[in-house]
Amino acid sequence: MKVAYFDCFSGISGDMTIAALLDAGLNFDALTKALGKLKLRGYELKKTKAMRGGISGTRFECVVTGSAGHSHRSIKEIFLIIDNSSLGAKVKDSAKAIFTNIGSSEAGIHGVSKSSDLRLHELGDIDSIIDIVGAAIALDELGIEAVYSSKISLGRTFVNSKHGVLPIPAPATLELLKGVPLNISEIEAELVTPTGAGILKTLSKGFGSIPQMKISSIGYGAGTRVLETRPNMLRVLIGETQPSFIEDRIFVIETNIDDMSPQSFEYLFEKLFKEGALDVYTTTIQMKKTRPAFKLTVLAEPRLIGRISSAIFSESTAIGLRYYEADRLKLERASTSVKTKYGNITVKLSSGPEGILTASPEYDECVKLARKKKVPLKSVYDEAKRAVKI
């Protein structure tokens, strides 16, 4: 499968995305021709070489040549432009999905009930439409089947916008990046724009380490500013991945508890799972002065660390927590119903690149049938597993 991995060490914007893909081999004439299908007027596209921090890359610019470029279009109007073009269905769907996510985040911030009615300011201008639709075109032209991204670096400052003075990271950018691993640096610049955040939030299948891939091309897309502490570049790696297990990133939260009744752990477990914990378990440990204790371990998605921590503090005697990120490999999970001589049974399936690896019949259903048919539970369980072709 052909994939693109965006290394966002200096953030990401729409023009940097296209520039990086041009630097990685995207044909500029093909991009220009495809964007012409939008039937927009009053702009000129430029591709130039640029140096940032001693690294040579590509700079992409959409230069607005008339006042028509500055228009507070609504999401509906932008969709009409896209739908009336002769672009392919995949490109249209990708571009509209990006605008939908950006519109939803903006609507929530500005108190608009329907994002489709929201009139976008800077994001409704020609250059923003070119950047978003152009990114969708670029990925399609290069045959990219999946997009992945690193953790995203953001800066801190204030900018003037048509909504007034806004803090950076911009509210819309942070809203879009909920659940995404971030690093907010002290660089006084807008490293991530709402357009760049919208592209990654919509198209990226995961945020973290580079997937196992054979790299075929690398591109560097230059940003407008020259930063003192790092190259203002977006790096994209394009290549082929081999069939592999699913990768994601979770938080591991731990605490040692030596002064709590073991009976109370049942309620704590129930509370943690209700808050969205992926798994919860205890390990018997020995603390100083040989005191017996439990180490509580909780696995959770990054976005839930606050809720999980609050539940631990409120429902246990813990006075401190440890937490760290962990990369995870997992199998694809699904379920199916199989027909056996005892009756229908749901079986949970776990599969990897080479097919189904494990089959686990639903325990409660097997118990119910074993009692009904007056047969050993093991017989029902084994019959369900035999009905699954592994």
Phi (first) and psi of residue 384, to 5 degrees: -65, -40
By the 10 Å C-beta count (0-12 exposed, 13-18 middle, 19+ buried), 301 is classed as: middle
For range 255-280, the mean pLDDT: 96
User: Residue type for 143, please?
Assistant: G
DSSP-derived pairing of the beta strands 146-149 and 2-7 = parallel
Classify residue 54 by its DSSP letter.
T
When pLDDT is averaged across residues 49-62 and rounded to a whole number, the result is 96
Contacts 24+ apart (CB under 8 A), 90-95: 90/136, 90/140, 91/34, 91/133, 91/136, 91/137, 91/140, 92/136, 94/136, 94/139, 94/140, 94/202, 94/203, 95/132, 95/133, 95/135, 95/136
| pLDDT exceeds cutoff 70 at 118 | no
Average pLDDT over residues 333-362: 91
Work out the pLDDT band at 169, boundaries 50, 70, 90.
confident
Question: What percentage of the chain reaches a pLDDT higher than 70?
Answer: 94
Residue 281: name the closest of 319, 255, 303, 305 by CA: 255
Which of 25-29, 114-118, 155-159 has the weakest average pLDDT?
114-118
Long-range contacts from 367-375, C-beta under 8 angstroms, 24+ separation:
369/342, 369/343, 369/345, 370/342, 372/343, 373/342, 373/343, 375/342
pLDDT band at 209 (very low <50, low <70, confident <90, very high): confident
| pLDDT of res. 315 | 96
Listing DSSP states for 12-33 in one string gives: B-HHHHHHHHHHTT--HHHHHH
**What mean pLDDT is predicted for residues 254-275?**
96
Read off the tokens for 383. 């019959």
Percent helix, strand, coil in the chain (nearest 5)? 35, 35, 30
pLDDT digits (tens, 9 = 90+) for 61-83: 999 886 654 567 888 899 999 99
User: Bridge partners of 168?
Assistant: 157
From CA 278, how far away is CA 154, in angstroms rounded?
28
Please indicate whether residue 118 or residue 59 has the higher confidence score (pLDDT).
59
Q: For residue range 92-101, what is the model confidence (pLDDT) as tens digits? A: 999 999 999 9
Which of the four pLDDT bands, split at 50, 70 and 90, describes residue 251?
Answer: very high
Distance in angstroms (rounded) separating the CA atoms of residues 353 and 336: 19
On average, the pLDDT of the chain sits at 90
Identify the pLDDT of residue 348: 95
For the segment 124-133, the average pLDDT, to the nearest whole number, is 90
Domains of the chain listed by start with CATH number: 2-244 (no CATH), 247-329 (3.30.70.1380), 332-386 (3.10.20.300)
Residue 113 is predicted with a pLDDT of: 55
Q: How confident is the model at residue 370 (pLDDT cuts 50, 70, 90)?
A: very high
Q: What is the pLDDT of residues 284-330, one digit of tens each?
A: 999 998 999 999 999 999 889 999 999 999 999 999 999 999 988 88
Length of the chain: 390
Higher-confidence position of 21 and 356: 21
pLDDT score at 103: 87
Full-prediction pTM beyond 0.95? no
What is each CA distance from 5 to 20, 152, 205, 243, in whole angstroms?
A: 11, 12, 10, 16
